[in-house]
Amino acid sequence: MSIIGEPLPRVDGRLKVTGGAKYSAEFAIPNLAYAVLLQSTIPSGRVVSMDTTEAERAPGVLTVMTPANASKLAAPQERISTLQDDRVHYNNQPIGVVVGETLHQAYHAASLVKVNYETSDAKLDFKAGFPSGYPGHHNEDPGDASWGDPDGAFQTAEVKVEQIYTTPIQHHNPMEPHATIAQWDGDHLTLHDATQNISGEKGAMAKMFGIPDGNVHVISLFLGGGFGCKGSVWSHVPLAAMAAKQVNRPVKLVLERPQMFGPVGARPETHQQVSLGATREGKLTAIRHHVYTNTSFLEDYLESSAVPTRRMYACDNVSTMHRLVKLNLGTPTYMRAPGVATGTYALEVAMDELAYKLKMDPLQLRLANYAEVDPQTKHPFTEKHLRECYSQAAEKFGWAKRKHEPRSMPDGRQLIGWGMATETYPGNRLPASAKVSFQPNGRVVVASGTHELGTGMYTVLTQVAADALAISPDLVDARLGDTGLPIAPISAGSMSTASVTPAVQEAAEKARIALINMAVGDAKSPVQRVAIDEVDFKDGKIFRKSAPGSGEKFTELIARNGNQAVEGVASVQPAEDKTKYSSHSFGAVYVEVSVDPQLGSVRVRRVVAVYDVGRIVNHRTARSQFIGGIVWGIGLALHEDTLVDWRNGRIANANLAEYHLPVNLDIPEIDVSALDIPDTKLNPLGARGIGEIGITGTGAAVANAIYHATGKRVRDLPITPDKLLA
């Protein structure tokens, strides 16, 4: 029986609960010095001078790096601040680094630095920038795409919804803040860094410092969450390396929680106009989804909220458009389900509004517009089983008992509401490589330069290698998070399992063949000179297929043949042909809320979701990922909100006390399941990603449930009591 799908407990669970799992800041490097970031206190302008005299005299100070004295990088990156010039583009921007013998000495010295600025007018009015908004793109997705005659079709539609939905700036805030230890040995750089992309960081750092790629070694064995903010190299990484070079010692730079708000990315604000046109029977005839979103003066990052609208529903007349507005804020970046989380919120609330206009059940409206093929490209989906998601989740939830009218299901003093939404996320994969080796000590090592974000990658690698070799997972050791290992892609976009597992399968097969070749060529082997297809390998034993009881352990074979590991290495390319197929995950989420009509407080009482994400490799870790996504969706609807002081671009709630996240008391029983139908057109295992889909429809489902409870439509997230009572 295959171990794929088994709810194997996390193989790194014990290490994590005993403190044995080493996170990037925890490596005890001899002679370590401590760095603290200095940050701007103006949103726009330049640093005229910095008075560092007092700081340099403070006890334990090793250096104070400023734009005036920092070393020049071979190829600085525009999007981050590495003290190469004196420009200030946002409040909280890194403008210096103090290095001390101890962390406290560095902090104290940092407090003594005086900065003289020349300020210039800051752009901090999002809406004022709309007229000069300009197009952008998100990775391969163009910002604008239309088909049919969306304006004409909307004009003549029998039933129309046209509304504006807004979502606030959000900050990622993984439990583990960004942390870097940089250590030079001549012109070789070792980095212990909290990153979702060790290979990308290796290349980026080599380029910045003008050294060969091979001179950079990045290690990242565990992450305490990433969510996209650890997907790229931010200022503190090269700054730690520059400081280490300057003081000629290893340097550690860990961001404080308030420093997580600004210099390391955010989800930008969105202003989304959604226009839906339909027939009286509920057939969509027009969809327009036009988005304004902010970016920074450092780069053009696009939150692609209208992109999911291109795949959700069958419609012949669609217009999707994004316009960027530059603001003097830290640059935005990918944040869990970038674009899709904010975009499905707007589209799926608009669909709910349309359902009410049509006096139609919201689920029936979705079924009436089910997309059998990709609505934009007309390509078939690699696999799509959304109908089963809708119906299974509706059944579990009891959706059939819903009364359609708002405020029609009270429970005592509380108003009860039921809402639903469609969820979606692209199914992508990238090239990846892996190595599988039989060790002389009887262990099997599976290695790939991927990452453990808390998602369960050590466990997935273990399971897939054990499955491919028909060996107990107890005998398998997984290695990842080190650029010395075979190259794997960035762990983002819900792609790691889909990308890395095909390489593991192929490497395991190559290792198995190498072992069998060694056996048939070995004079003392029980399978000596047996035809290769007559030889089998199972439970660590090599044997003749016709005599399964015979044979020997691979350790005995290896011991007679030089006692060296026998290995297989594989590099694999995506199999999916993007010109033939469209690959997406889908799901359906149903939510029950209760709303106190006097207090405006919302409790999420129940969530039921069913997903079509291809084959599930591990039901235990998959469940955690779905639940994690749904919790984010609840936070999107009700809690998360970065409050900017628009006078000066400062973030007023740059801490976890005032930046509200859902806590245990906010989260009810969440019932998640997956159809577990393999998508073998995407990869041999048939697994698509599951890390992000849970956030995508959940925000809308909560918002729709609140409308059903109260009859009040709040289109401006988060839905807080003040807005509900207004």
- Nearest residue relative to ligand MOS (C-beta): 228
Residue 186 has what DSSP assignment?
T
Q: Can you name the residues that pair with 243 across neighbouring β-strands?
A: none
Residue 451 binding ligand MOS, by CB under 6 A? no
Which H or E run includes 48?
A: strand 45-51
Name which of 247 and 430 has its Cβ closer to ligand MOS.
Answer: 430
Whole-number Å distance between alpha carbons of 293 and 289: 13
Minimum distance from CB of 302 to ligand MOS (Å)? 13
Pick 673 or 696: Cβ nearer ligand MOS: 696
User: Does 375 interact with ligand MOS (rule: CB under 6 A)?
Assistant: no
Cα separation, 329 vs 623, whole angstroms: 36
Q: 426: closest CA among 224, 649, 690, 176?
A: 690
CB of 168 to ligand MOS, least distance (A): 17
Per-residue binding string, ligand MOS, 468-507, x by CB under 6 A, is ------------------------xx--------------
The minimum distance between CB 697 and ligand MOS, in angstroms, equals: 17
Over the window 135 to 174, marking each residue x when it contacts ligand MOS by CB under 6 A and - when it does not, the resulting string is ----------------------------------------
Q: How far is the CB of 500 from ligand MOS (least distance, A)?
A: 15
Does 425 help bind ligand MOS (rule: CB under 6 A)?
no
Site string for ligand MOS, 195-214 (x = CB under 6 A): -x------------------
User: Which amino acid belongs to residue 607?
Assistant: V
Q: Which stretch binds ligand MOS (CB under 6 A): 86-94, 142-150, 163-171, 328-336?
A: 328-336
Between 337 and 471, name the residue whose CB sits nearer to ligand MOS: 337
Selected binder of ligand MOS within 126, 227, 292, 458 (CB under 6 A): 227
Binding residue for ligand MOS (CB under 6 A) from 58, 157, 335, 602? 335
Out of 383, 506, 556, 692, the active site residue is 692
Smallest separation, CB 336 to ligand MOS (Å): 5
Cβ nearer to ligand MOS, comparing 335 with 589? 335
Among the listed residues 321, 316, 311, the one whose alpha carbon sits nearest the alpha carbon of residue 372? 311
C-beta of 165 vs 301, nearer to ligand MOS: 301
Contacts of 644 (CB under 8 A, 6+ apart): 124, 169, 329, 650, 651, 652
Coil/strand/helix, residue 707: helix
Residue carrying structure tokens 């870790």 = 621
**Are the beta carbons of 417 and 708 closer than 8 angstroms?**
yes
Tokens read off for 603: 């409790």
Smallest separation, CB 49 to ligand MOS (Å):
39
Strands (E), 363-482: 410-411, 414-426, 432-438, 444-447, 476-479
Give a three-class secondary structure readout of 514-535: HHHHHHHCCCCCCCCCCCHHHE
In the complex, minimum distance from the CB of residue 625 to ligand MOS, in angstroms, rounded to a whole number: 12
Smallest distance from ligand MOS to CB 267, Å: 9
What contacts 69, CB < 8 A, 6 or more positions away? none
Give the range of 187-195, 333-341, 347-355, 405-413 binding ligand MOS by CB under 6 A. 333-341
Helix then strand then coil, in percent of the chain rounded to 5, is: 30, 25, 45
Return phi, psi of residue 148, to 5°. 70, -150
C-alpha 405/C-alpha 394 separation (Å) is 18
In terms of CB distance, is 177 or 493 closer to ligand MOS? 493
- Measured from the CB atom, is 335 or 542 closer to ligand MOS? 335
Nearer to ligand MOS by C-beta: 227 or 345? 227
The residue (of 43 and 338) whose beta carbon lies closer to ligand MOS is: 338
Q: Report the distance separating Cα 49 and Cα 522, nearest Å.
A: 74
CB 383 to ligand MOS: min, Å: 22
Q: Report the candidate in 182, 204, 184, 203 with the shortest Cα–Cα distance to residue 193.
A: 182
Q: Which of 123/230 has CB closer to ligand MOS?
A: 230
- The two tokens of residue 299 are 């780069």
Per CB under 6 A, does 228 bind ligand MOS? yes
Residue 599 to residue 579: CA distance in whole angstroms: 53
Q: Collapse the DSSP code of 94 into the 3-class scheme (helix H, G, I; strand E, B; otherwise coil) and give the result.
A: strand
Contact mark string toward ligand MOS, 337..356, x via CB under 6 A: -x------------------
Q: Is 692 a catalytic residue?
A: yes
Write the burial class of residue 565 (CB in 10 Å: 0-12 exposed, 13-18 middle, 19+ buried). middle
Segment interacting with ligand MOS, rule: CB under 6 A, options 38-46, 227-235, 257-265, 633-641: 227-235
Residues 6+ apart with CB under 8 A from 442: 475, 540, 553, 554, 555
- Our finding on whether 226 is near ligand MOS (CB under 6 A) is yes
Query: Which of 334, 458, 537, 586 is in the footprint of ligand MOS by CB under 6 A?
Result: 334
Q: Which span (58-66, 330-338, 346-354, 384-392) binds ligand MOS, by CB under 6 A?
A: 330-338
| Binding residues for ligand MOS (CB under 6 A) | 196, 226-228, 231, 334-336, 338, 492-493
**Residue positions annotated with a catalytic role:** 692
